[in-house]
Amino acid sequence: MVIKSVELETVCGITSVLPENELFEVAFAGKSNVGKSSMINTILNRKGMARISSQPGKTQTINFYNINNIGYLVDLPGYGYATACEEIKAQWGIMIENYLHNSKKLQAVFLLIDIRHEPSENDCMMYDWILHQGYRPIIIATKADKLKNSQINSHVSRIKQTLNMGAEDLLIVFSSMSKAGKDEILNVIDNYILRNEDQTPMTKEQLIEKGVLTARQVEDYKEEQRRKNGEANKPAKKARWKSVGKETKADRKKKEQSKAKKKAVVRKQKNKMKHR
């Protein structure tokens, strides 16, 4: 993706109502000071677009950057900002959760982790929360320039292990200093979210075909389709019954048929015996 235009379109604070955007959204989460805003500036090629600071807690709002009028990069406030008061921290948490839970256009969530450190308890909680919301988190291991090349692999393994990542889950090593990983992030946005021909978001069918969606997202989509087709809940109910080990109508019919078959065989054998 070539960045042609960027505009900070919406800024949401604790009391703001979140926008109902028409275009797709991609969000960047991570603890305070991990380098979210720096990463957004790097991939957008704009030095001062997202405000950065060596003081944690710089981004205190949810910022929606409109790119090329095709979608939004969403800069989230960092969690775990130690010196913020508990009440503010809780409100930020609610704001982030509310956004991740309710956005209808959110297509992917990137979670940034400082490559130098083992993911914290908060990082693990965030990872699980994103999974729970039905997204497959894409990890960006930031500040790679602070490690020697020879250290990178072992730090990556530690992050994957601590977060309990699957072999197919994505992790991108990134540095806003060297710009390493920048193209990879843009490629992920291109390949996982946009159709290459016209740069519009992929349809759910295309995402399923590419294997991008989690099992839960696929189930939700199927359920939505069933509802649209007026078959609300029927197959889902069947699946639910099966999952708790209950017998469905079809199971019962099968059982009865096999009983009848067995009876017929016994009857046949008895008849044979009689005629001997």
Ligand X SMILES: Nc1nc2c(ncn2[C@@H]2O[C@H](COP(=O)(O)OP(=O)(O)OP(=O)(O)O)[C@@H](O)[C@H]2O)c(=O)[nH]1
Q: Which is nearer to Mg ion, 14 or 232 (CB)?
A: 14
76 vs 32: CA distance, rounded Å: 10
Residue whose pair of structure tokens reads 């309710």 in the numeric block: 102
Q: Which does 34 bind (CB under 5 to 8 A by kind): Mg ion, ligand X, none?
A: ligand X
CB of 42 to Mg ion, least distance (A): 13
Q: Which is nearer to ligand X, 30 or 134 (CB)?
A: 30
Task: State phi, psi for 195 to the nearest 5 degrees.
Answer: -80, 130
Q: Which does 107 bind (CB under 5 to 8 A by kind): ligand X, Mg ion, none?
A: none
Query: Of 50-58, 135-143, 192-200, 262-270, which segment contacts Mg ion by CB under 5 A?
Result: 50-58
Is 32 near Mg ion (CB under 5 A)? Answer: no
For the four alpha carbons of 175, 179, 180 and 185, in that order, the dihedral sign comes to: positive
Q: Which is nearer to Mg ion, 103 or 142 (CB)?
A: 142
Binding region for ligand X (CB under 6 A): 30, 32-38, 52-54, 56-59, 77-78, 142-143, 145-146, 175-177
Query: Of 52-60, 117-125, 160-168, 234-242, which segment contacts Mg ion by CB under 5 A?
Result: 52-60
In our burial notation (b when 16+ CB lie closer than 10 A, e otherwise), range 15-47 reads: eeeeeebebbbbbbbbbbbbbbbbbbbbbbeee
Q: Which is nearer to Mg ion, 31 or 36 (CB)?
A: 36
- Amino acid type, 215: A
13 vs 80: CA distance, rounded Å: 18
Residue 155 region by backbone torsions, left for phi larger than 0, else alpha for psi between -120 and 50, else beta? alpha
E strand residue ranges, the chain: 6-12, 24-30, 62-67, 71-75, 106-114, 138-142, 171-173
Is 59 near Mg ion (CB under 5 A)? Answer: yes
CB of 237 to Mg ion, least distance (A): 45
Q: Which is nearer to ligand X, 110 or 135 (CB)?
A: 110
Q: Which is nearer to ligand X, 90 or 264 (CB)?
A: 90
Q: Which does 145 bind (CB under 5 to 8 A by kind): Mg ion, ligand X, none?
A: ligand X
Contact (CB, 8 A) for 118 and 163: no
CB of 244 to Mg ion, least distance (A): 45
